[in-house]
Amino acid sequence: MRRASSSASRKVNPAFESSEPDLNLQMRPVAKPTATYVAAQTIADNMQEFASESVKRHYNSDTSLQRYGVGGRARCVEDAEYHLEFLVTALHAESVDQFVDYCAWAKILLHSRNIGVSHLIENLKHLGSVLKSKISKREWSVVSKYLQAAITALPDLPTDLPSRIAPERPFADAANAYLAALLHFQRDRASEIVLKESSKGTSVKDIYRYIITPVQQEIGRLWQLGKLTVVHEHYCTAATEIVMSELFRHLVPSRAGREVRILAMCVQGERHCIALRMFADLMTIEGWQVQYIGPDTPTPSAIRFICEEKPSIVAVSVTFPRNIRYLESFVNALKESRSCNHVKILIGGRATSSELCRRIGADAYAECIGDAVEIANRLIA
Ligand code: B12
């Protein structure tokens, strides 16, 4: 995450640092492609062209945008591509709400960088005019619903978000103290708070659920509101990973070593791994043999590794909606592999849902790591 300073450098689409995975991974072929599916594919295949054409039309209609200079125009194109990325993801999920949620997120991000919602709405309108001229009537009849829903909803959507550390939640004081320590670059103090809770008998599950999870989510909210830089976020997350390692040393399996193995990985392109690590720790406490692989796992290598290791379950995390296409390709490849299509697939993460689980043919979905342990035990029962 990068914080945009002046309006000329603002952008919704901070550049990814991770190696851009190849995009030739096939989405599950569909019997008779629906208009939604075809529209998503058409937009995905022409994203740069559609994005730069929409910005050209935007700049022609509003010459004041010239004040942002060449850099500003380049970021406008990146923003338009980002809007199209999330539109494609929402079309594949056949969820208008998912696209409106994205626009709600973008409104807050832009607002906190002094970019009004009218600019975002204009951006979407120009994207619409390009799509209407480039895709078939059948496809436009679908896509226009997504854009219109966002354009209609945006003016009334909030420009702020409530704190993710709700005062009525258990351990809220400890969570706020932990956050304060991180924001003052006091990692040892943060570690002290967590280890003290653990020594008082608070379970690792509750520390993860009520202290570290809301604090990480609050750090994301403060970044989105422009109150924290990407470097602050990196410091806090790195400190939290060290604190989790310290806590890990105190982990006591509640059940003796079991002959069941789980592999925990983030899909290709996915760099959010804190939740997955938490889940892996809870499964270790459950007595499972855990292979924690971590972020950005290339699909072909993951499939080969799973077929060699043959775990009972592979747990897969996706936080960023853009990476859903890699999850779909991963599930396709695993289910089609002769030697390991019996391995159960458990999915989780901010970008996943039970509807997605059904749509892509995974075996189970867990909304939070707390529930996931029981779901995993049930999967092999
Ligand atoms: C830390 C962080 C990063 C770090 C991650 C480092 C790391 N080691 O993980 C880095 C810097 C890499 C990063 C990058 C980006 N990030 Co980021 N990130 C975050 C942040 C602040 C915390 C994530 C976290 O640890 N959450 C705590 C965990 C415990 O909670 P959780 O993820 O909500 O997971 C819960 C459930 O989903 C579930 N679960 C999750 N995974 C799994 C897996 C399984 C198997 C199971 C069973 C359950 C499960 O259990 C958890 C709790 O019960 C979030 C804010 C947030 N709201 O989470 C933003 C956030 C997710 N990031 C965001 C963005 C935009 C990005 C970037 C695109 C920005 C950019 N620079 O380009 C990149 C994308 C990188 C990529 N390709 O993946 C946005 C996403 C917005 C959106 N519309 O989707 C967020 C929401 C910030 C914000 N408020 O805008 N990020």
Closest CA to 327 of 290, 302, 292: 302
Residue 13 beta carbon below 6 angstroms from any ligand 1 atom: no
CA dihedral for 57, 62, 63, 64, sign (positive or negative):
negative
- Based on the domain organization, do 37 and 138 belong to the same domain? yes
Instruction: Report CA(209)–ligand 1 centroid distance (Å).
Output: 15
Residues present in the chain in total = 381
What distance in Å separates the CA atoms of residue 218 and residue 351, rounded to the nearest whole number?
Answer: 18
pLDDT given at position 18:
39
Count of the separate structural domains present in the chain: 3
pLDDT given at position 347:
98
Closest CA to 207 of 251, 167, 238, 148: 251
What CATH number does residue 221 fall under?
1.10.1240.10
Tokens standing for residue 146: 């997504």
Ligand 1, pocket-test mutation among 20, 319, 347, most atoms within 8 A of CB: 319
CA dihedral for 320, 322, 323, 327, sign (positive or negative):
positive
Q: What is the DSSP string of 95-136?
A: -HHHHHHHHHHHHHHHHTTT--HHHHHHHHHHHHHHHHHHS-
- Based on the domain organization, do 193 and 125 belong to the same domain? no
Residue-wise pLDDT for 209-239, tens only, equals 999 999 999 999 999 999 999 999 999 999 9
Domain span holding position 366: 261-379
pLDDT given at position 252:
67
Residue 166 domain-assigned? no
Hey, is 7 helix, strand or coil?
helix
Determine which residue's CA is closest to atom 24 belonging to ligand 1.
216
pLDDT given at position 255:
66
Residue 73 domain-assigned? yes
Determine which residue's CA is closest to atom 85 belonging to ligand 1.
220
Q: Angle, to 10 degrees, between the axis of helix 137-153 and the axis of helix 69-92? A: 110
Residue 279 beta carbon below 6 angstroms from any ligand 1 atom: yes
pLDDT given at position 256:
65
Tokens standing for residue 44: 């995905």
What distance in Å separates the CA atoms of residue 321 and residue 342, rounded to the nearest whole number?
Answer: 27
Tokens standing for residue 66: 């010239």
pLDDT given at position 258:
76
pLDDT given at position 234:
98
- Based on the domain organization, do 286 and 352 belong to the same domain? yes
Residue 192 domain-assigned? yes
What CATH number does residue 64 fall under?
1.10.490.20
Residue 283 beta carbon below 6 angstroms from any ligand 1 atom: no
Index of the ligand 1 atom closest to the CA of residue 14: 72
Residues of the chain with pLDDT under 50: 1-28
Residue 272 beta carbon below 6 angstroms from any ligand 1 atom: yes
Tokens standing for residue 71: 């850099």
Ligand 1, pocket-test mutation among 79, 272, 320, most atoms within 8 A of CB: 272
pLDDT given at position 250:
73
- Based on the domain organization, do 233 and 277 belong to the same domain? no
Last residue of a domain, one of 203, 227, 251: 251
pLDDT given at position 67:
87
Q: What is the DSSP string of 179-195?
A: HHHHHTT-HHHHHHHHH
- Based on the domain organization, do 227 and 327 belong to the same domain? no
Burial of 214 (0-12, 13-18, 19+ CB in 10 A): buried
Residue 205 beta carbon below 6 angstroms from any ligand 1 atom: no
For the chain, the helix, strand and coil percentages under 3-state DSSP, each to the nearest 5: 60, 5, 30
Residue 112 beta carbon below 6 angstroms from any ligand 1 atom: no
Residue 321 beta carbon below 6 angstroms from any ligand 1 atom: yes
Last residue of a domain, one of 251, 281, 296: 251
Determine which residue's CA is closest to atom 71 belonging to ligand 1.
1
Residue 233 beta carbon below 6 angstroms from any ligand 1 atom: yes
Amino acid 178 reads Y
